[in-house]
Each structure stands twice: as C-alpha cells, then as structure tokens.
C-alpha cells in the first residue's frame, strides 16, 4: 500500500521465494538451495512486514519491520529509494522502489559462514526491487 503524498502512511508486505536467490552462478544457486545451506524445501520464502516507514526526502526513506528467514524473525531496516511514479503504456499507474540491506547469516540460524571450510561467507546482501501497480476501483456489486 503506497501513499505517494505521504510515504509514512504506506506499508509493505513482501514475500520472497527462496528459489529467486541469485549468485550469478547457476550451479552454485542450485547447491545453496539444499538443506546444507538455505534449505528451500523447508523454508520456501523469506518475508518482510513493515511496522514503520520514514521518508527522508521525496526520493529516499527507511522501512523498519519484521524480517523472517529460515524460521527466524528479527526487526530490520531497509533504506529505500523511490524510482518513480507514473502511467504505463497500458493505461495503468505504477511505482518503483529499490531497497537494500545487509545481514549476518549466523543471526538467522545458518552456520556455514562460521566454518573455515565453508564456501559461503556469513555476510548476506538483500536487494528488493519493488514494482507497485495501482489497482482499479472495485466493480459495483450487482
């Protein structure tokens, strides 16, 4: 839900499919989906639900909310940029946002980054590319 006139009145609920994790190396992407790492069969998605959104300017702000990954929920902040608002070629209205944050895998129950022989470090970067589409008004009930 986006209020373009007052971003602090907006809210975000994101569900991210863990199969969308991309390391720019397809074989490694398949490997980290296994139970030794992300265990996507058991933990199919990560989620973020905002509690507070602060606009720092008309194009930047910070979302604070509950982030859940691998069965662990923590309060986190995501600085974001407003990429724009406008009509699309099909007559709809869209908006775009980009948000980034970094976290420690070990804070979410992952142990691979703590082992010397691990092929993956403890640092994880998360980028959210969000496109919002304005819904048409509901049809009158007949």
CA 66 to chain centre: 11
- Global confidence as pTM: 0.78
Structural domain range at position 78? 7-133
CATH of the domain at 106: 2.40.128.110
For residue 83, being part of any structural domain is answered with yes
Reported as a single tens digit per residue, the pLDDT across 9-54 is: 888 898 988 888 777 778 877 877 877 778 888 989 989 999 999 9
Reported as a single tens digit per residue, the pLDDT across 65-88 is: 999 998 999 999 999 999 999 998
Q: Judge whether residue 113 has pLDDT over 60.
A: no
For residue 140, being part of any structural domain is answered with no
């Amino acid at each position: 839900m986006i209020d373009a006139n007052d971003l602090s009145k907006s809210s975000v609920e994101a569900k991210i499919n863990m199969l969308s994790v991309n390391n720019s190396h397809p074989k490694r992407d398949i490997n980290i989906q296994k139970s030794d790492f992300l265990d996507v069969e058991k933990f199919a998605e990560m989620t973020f639900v905002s509690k507070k959104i602060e606009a720092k300017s008309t194009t930047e702000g910070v979302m604070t909310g509950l982030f859940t990954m691998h069965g662990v929920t923590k309060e986190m902040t995501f600085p974001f940029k407003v990429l724009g608002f406008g009509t699309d070629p099909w007559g709809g209205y869209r908006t775009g946002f980009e948000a980034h944050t970094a976290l420690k895998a070990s804070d979410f129950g992952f142990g691979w980054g703590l082992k010397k022989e691990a092929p993956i470090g403890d640092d994880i970067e998360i980028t959210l590319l969000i496109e919002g589409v304005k819904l048409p008004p509901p049809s009158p009930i007949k």
